[in-house]
Amino acid sequence: MFNFLISAKVYQAGFAAARGLLSIMHPMRIEIGFLTMVLAVATLAPAVVLAAGGPVAQPSATKTYTLYGDGTAGQNGWGFTANTVTYPGPTLYANQGDTVSLSLFSKDGMGHIFVVDWNSDGIKNGADVNSTQFSSTTTATAFSFTADQAGTHQYFCSLHTAAVQKGPLIVNATGGGGTPSSDNTTLIIGGVVIVVAIVAVVAAVAMRRKKP
């Protein structure tokens, strides 16, 4: 939004400068083609500024994972396959706002409940999100959640506790709107474009006036 306001101000300044130059050049009976060029240059400035705007929020996506849970002593943990179960389990990645879609299996045939520990207290409570209990070794239990909290979190099995089954979940922060540095860059670029346009027009007028 801040970049848009800057772009609008830059456009107004560029248009005013072009209009002033036109008022000077018009009495000189400069041909229509040259006037058209001036207007084109003035109109180009806001387009360049808008193109140089700050970062834009990434669109949300769906991250898909398959997880196998095992609570057997010495084999406990999580894995992307039944043969790759480790403790801690594999890292799950998502961008803030993404939907994380899980296919959950039980490697050991015991019941498990997958929990995202949003408040980092190591227990399942109202601040967290969790799947229903699953125990099938062959039929997946589907569970999806929105990764709306940026940071490094953990997931675990609430039936076997985080001491037996856990793994990291990393949610990368995303967001729109420019930072102060990018806003300044936008303003500088817009100013440079307008100055170059004005200098070019003035130089062209001077050269035409020198012609016999």
Which tokens go with 110?
A: 């015991």
Distance CA 166, CA 63 (A): 19
Confidence check: pLDDT of 95 > 70: yes
Question: Residues 152-170: what's their mean pLDDT?
Answer: 98
Please report which residue ranges of the chain form alpha helices under DSSP H.
Answer: 2-25, 32-51, 180-210
pLDDT(4) > 50: no
User: CA-to-CA distance for 95 and 150, rounded, in angstroms?
Assistant: 8
What pairing do the DSSP bridges indicate for beta strands 62-70 and 99-106? parallel
CATH no. of 62-172: 2.60.40.420
Give the pLDDT mean for 155-181. 84
Q: Quote the crossing angle between the two packed helices 2-25 and 180-210, to the nearest 10°.
A: 10
Residue 12: its pLDDT value, please? Answer: 63
Q: Classify strands 114-117 and 129-130 as parallel, antiparallel or unpaired.
A: antiparallel
Average pLDDT of the segment spanning 38-60? 52
Q: What is the pLDDT of residues 171-186, one digit of tens each?
A: 999 964 333 444 444 4
Q: Quick check: 166 pLDDT over 70?
A: yes
**For the residues 146-156, what does the mean pLDDT come to?**
98
Q: Mean of the per-residue pLDDT values for the chain? A: 77
Domain borders along the chain are 2-55+182-210, 62-172
* Entry pTM: 0.59
